[in-house]
């Protein structure tokens, strides 16, 4: 035993150990990288989902206070906006997709931009109106990891001058 210890390791033994340890380290690094990307993708997707809900709820809250809604292309049918008016037909609020930053902005008017509703990029924003209903036909957000989050909903125009909705 003492004689073998005194002989040290052969080149083949050292090589085998190095190859094995390299494989183990490479496996650990690839596992770390894939875990991190999974974590990031999940986190950004969850944030985009939260933003989609927040966007729909913000629009719904404003729509419920309005009397009339007018959708418009901003600038095309896949990227729209909606103008909300009160019973005197005065514009009270509007939401619109901005080509400058791919975000949905809000404000009392086009020249009075209060900034984006949520921070996530919006790839599609489509709105439609029925007599007493505003349909948010599609809100499509792109998460930081590239995944798309889609949602749709509707809100009623309850402020119709005392009329039942």
Partner 1 sequence: MEVVVATVIAVIAVVALAYSFGMGRGLVNQYEVARIALAAAQHRMETLATAGLGSPDLALGPGFTTATYGPMDVLLDGSVACRESWEVEPIHDAANTTNPGSTDLKEVTVTVSWGRGGPNETVALTRLFPVR
Q: Which residues bind partner 1 (CB under 8 A)?
A: 31, 35, 38-39, 41-42, 45-46, 49, 52-53, 56, 60, 130-133, 135, 138, 140, 149-157, 164-165
Identify whether the C-beta of residue 88 lies closer than 8 Å to the C-beta of residue 100: no
Calculate the alpha carbon distances from 5 to 1, 9, 39, 69, 138 in Å: 6, 8, 47, 87, 73
Residue 68 or 157: the one with the smaller Cβ distance to partner 1 is 157
Check residue 36 and report its DSSP letter: H
Residue 77 or 130: the one with the smaller Cβ distance to partner 1 is 130
State in angstroms the smallest separation of the CB of 27 from partner 1.
9
What's the rounded Cα separation, in Å, for the pair 21 and 32?
16
- What residues form DSSP beta bridges with 125? 79, 139
Residue 70 or 107: the one with the smaller Cβ distance to partner 1 is 70
State in angstroms the smallest separation of the CB of 132 from partner 1.
4
- What residues form DSSP beta bridges with 105? 96, 116
Residue 42 or 115: the one with the smaller Cβ distance to partner 1 is 42
State in angstroms the smallest separation of the CB of 136 from partner 1.
8
State in angstroms the smallest separation of the CB of 110 from partner 1.
27
What's the rounded Cα separation, in Å, for the pair 32 and 34?
6
State in angstroms the smallest separation of the CB of 153 from partner 1.
4
Residue 3 or 146: the one with the smaller Cβ distance to partner 1 is 146
Which two three-digit tokens encode residue 91?
A: 């514009």
* DSSP-derived 3-state class of residue 14: helix
């Amino acid at each position: 035993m003492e004689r073998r210890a005194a002989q040290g390791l052969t080149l083949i033994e050292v090589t085998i150990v190095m190859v094995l340890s390299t494989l183990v380290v490479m496996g650990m690094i690839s596992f770390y990288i894939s875990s991190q990307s999974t974590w990031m993708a999940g986190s950004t997707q969850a944030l985009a989902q939260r933003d989609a809900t927040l966007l729909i709820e913000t629009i719904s809250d404003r729509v419920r206070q309005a009397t009339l809604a007018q959708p418009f292309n901003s600038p095309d049918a896949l990227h729209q906006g909606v103008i909300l008016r009160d019973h005197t037909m005065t514009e009270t609020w509007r939401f619109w997709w901005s080509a400058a930053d791919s975000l949905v902005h809000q404000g009392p008017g086009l020249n009075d931009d209060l900034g984006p509703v949520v921070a996530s990029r919006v790839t599609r924003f489509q709105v439609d109106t029925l007599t007493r209903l505003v349909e948010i036909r599609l809100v499509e957000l792109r998460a930081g990891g590239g995944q798309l989050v889609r949602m749709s909903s509707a809100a009623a125009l309850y402020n119709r001058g005392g009329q039942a909705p």
